[in-house]
Structure formats: C-alpha cells, structure tokens
C-alpha cells in the first residue's frame, strides 16, 4: 500500500467475520495473520466486539496490536451475550450499568489496554429506555474507560432519542453498495459531528466471494439458514433470503465483469467504491486471512475513472435495495 494514500484512513478492520460464530470454520492463526497484515498495510482502526467468538476476536486483536496501542484506534461493543455460545438464536441484551461495566472490564483485559477509543452498545436493550442506556455509557466515559461512546443497530426512534441526549459521539450501522437502510441514522449522527462507522461493506460475502446460485453453506453458517428459512431482521438476512440471493449475485457478477479489466478482484473493486461513498467516516471490511486483506486493500490504489464509476452506478441502480430501517424501536 503506497504511503500517503488518503483512502487508507477511510477503512477499518472488521473482526467479526474472521472469528465470530456463524461464518463457518475458524482458523485462529489465519485471523492473527489478517490483523497483522492490516496493520502493516496502514490500517489503524480496528473494530471488534465482546461476543465475537465469545471473546476470541478481542483477544486476537489485543495480542497482535500489543505494543502498538498508541498507533491505533480500538472500537469494541458490549451489552449483548449468548446464553448458549453455540446457538446464535440465544442472544440476549443487557445494557444496565453493572452489566456494561463487566463487559468493559472483560474487553479491556482481552484487548490488553486500559481504555478503548470507541465503545458502542451492540444492540438496543428493550428493558431500558434509550436515555437510560446513554446515561450508562456516559458513566463509562466519565470513568476514562472510553474516549467516544455510542450505539450500533438501534431502530429509528431509539436512535433519534439517543442522539437527542447529546451523549453519543459515534454510531455504527450496516451500509454497503446494496444496503442503504440506515442512511437517516448515519446522517443524523454526522450532523452532530459524530463518528460514523459502517459495517457489511461486502454484504456478508455477497460482494466479495464467488458464490453460485446453488451454493451450499456450512451447517453452522447463518447465511445458509437465511437461504433455507428466509429470516429477516437486524442482520444481513434480507440479502440472502428468497429471491434476493440470486438477484444480488447477478449484481455481483456485473460488478466483477467491470473489475476484471482493471486487474481488480470483486472485493477490491467493491471496497474502492464503498470508501468513496459520503455516508461513513470509517468503512469496515471483514477478512479472514492476510491474503484477503491485501486483496481488498489493493483496490484503494486503483485509478477509477469517471466512466468506470458511472458504469458501476448504472449497475447498482438496478439493485433492489431494502431502504427501510428494519430494527426494532
């Protein structure tokens, strides 16, 4: 990655895919290599979460970035856990202060630091009001455990009320070339000067992997369950369920055909297009090994002329993007 590339500051390493439950088999050595490769390439923003891999994601990020703490920004998330780590459907929320304090202490231990740069509530806790949840975050900030605090995956009304407290200085939402569901929430935070982090740049693999229409996912891969059962809601299920899967693969093939003459993979081309969008300050990209990191970041050095950008826009204009906020409250 050439020194001084301004786009490198627009991307962040998303560690959910590399180690979290639900994406098939995990290779921890490859995950370590991915974090190291991202650092060597100039990535300085790292996003993880308490419940990714039941803490293994945070532990790996902390291990690889030990001794480099002053050079990077660490973002983690708390407030959710699995009652059964082997079952993704057993997720429960708890954003009480006592619970968040425990989540935070465990996260800091694994990340090998005394504070994080950004701390987010992973999901809305229906047992508390948005205002109460923000007050609990503020206590953590006042204790010096987080520089910025905010939320991830709040519904439209909860986000409005949370932002109105003036406490959140960061938000994180799903956003990609195919996902514009949460532009209002991202815009509202940006208008207040908040840090806008977006995840799902590759749409959970739809815009990076070489799927076929009849692709068979691993038994423990949530994307396969979405294909079979048509689940929808807070995650990326809507892009895999029913007819959406084939339609999105068709978009991916057209983008791949546009990327090929440029010598770029689909993942590299998609990341290059995504970081040029005005909706986020940090666009996360998920990788599971060093080769995927290098491949994705290679697109940031590509010279995308006006004709290429216009042709990509024409392709994406045919996508049937879900636009409404599908989150509760």
The domain segmentation of the chain, as residue ranges, is: 9-317
Distance CA 74, CA 44 (A): 9
What fold, for 9-317? TIM Barrel (3.20.20)
pLDDT tens-digit series, residues 176-223: 999 999 999 999 999 999 999 999 999 999 999 989 888 888 877 778
The tokens 């803490």 sit on which residue?
55
pLDDT tens-digit series, residues 113-152: 999 999 999 999 999 999 999 999 999 999 999 999 999 9
Bigger pLDDT: 92 or 198? 198
Q: What local confidence, expressed as pLDDT, does residue 2 receive?
A: 41
Q: What local confidence, expressed as pLDDT, does residue 20 receive?
A: 60
- Hey, what long-range contacts does 243-250 have (CB within 8 A, 24 or more apart)? 244/320, 245/206, 245/213, 246/213, 247/319, 247/320, 248/178, 248/203, 248/206, 248/319, 249/206, 249/211, 249/212, 249/213
pLDDT tops 70 at residue 269: yes
Q: Which residues contact 305 (CB under 8 A, 6 or more apart)?
A: none
pLDDT tens-digit series, residues 281-301: 999 999 999 999 999 999 999
């Amino acid at each position: 990655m050439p020194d001084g590339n301004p786009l490198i500051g627009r991307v962040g390493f998303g560690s959910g895919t590399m180690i979290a439950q639900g994406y098939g088999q995990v290779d921890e050595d490859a995950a370590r290599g991915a974090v190291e490769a991202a650092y060597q390439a100039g990535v300085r923003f790292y996003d993880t979460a308490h419940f990714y891999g039941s803490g293994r994601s945070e532990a790996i990020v902390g291990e690889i970035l030990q001794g480099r703490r002053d050079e990077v920004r660490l973002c983690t998330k708390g407030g959710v856990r699995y009652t059964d780590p082997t079952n993704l459907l057993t997720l429960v929320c708890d954003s009480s202060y006592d619970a968040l304090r425990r989540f935070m202490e465990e996260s800091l231990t694994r990340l090998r630091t005394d504070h994080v740069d950004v701390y987010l509530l992973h999901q809305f806790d229906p047992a508390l009001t948005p205002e109460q949840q923000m007050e609990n975050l503020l206590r953590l900030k006042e204790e010096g455990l987080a520089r910025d605090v905010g939320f991830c995956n709040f519904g439209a009304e909860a986000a409005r009320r949370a932002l109105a407290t003036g406490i959140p200085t960061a938000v994180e939402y799903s956003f990609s070339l195919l996902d514009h569901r949460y532009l209002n929430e991202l815009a509202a935070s940006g208008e207040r000067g908040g840090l806008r982090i977006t995840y799902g740049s590759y749409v959970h693999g739809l815009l990076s992997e070489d799927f076929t229409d009849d692709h068979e996912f691993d038994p423990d891969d949530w994307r396969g369950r979405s294909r079979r059962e048509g689940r929808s809601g807070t995650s990326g299920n809507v892009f895999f369920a029913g007819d959406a899967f084939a339609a999105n693969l068709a978009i991916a093939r057209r983008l791949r055909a546009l990327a090929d003459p440029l010598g770029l993979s689909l993942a590299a081309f998609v990341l290059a297009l995504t970081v040029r969008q005005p909706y986020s300050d940090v666009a996360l990209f998920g990788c599971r090994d060093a080769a995927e990191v290098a491949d994705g970041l290679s697109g940031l050095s590509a010279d995308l002329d006006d004709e290429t950008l216009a042709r990509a826009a024409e392709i994406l204009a045919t996508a049937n993007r879900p636009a409404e906020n599908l989150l509760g409250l």
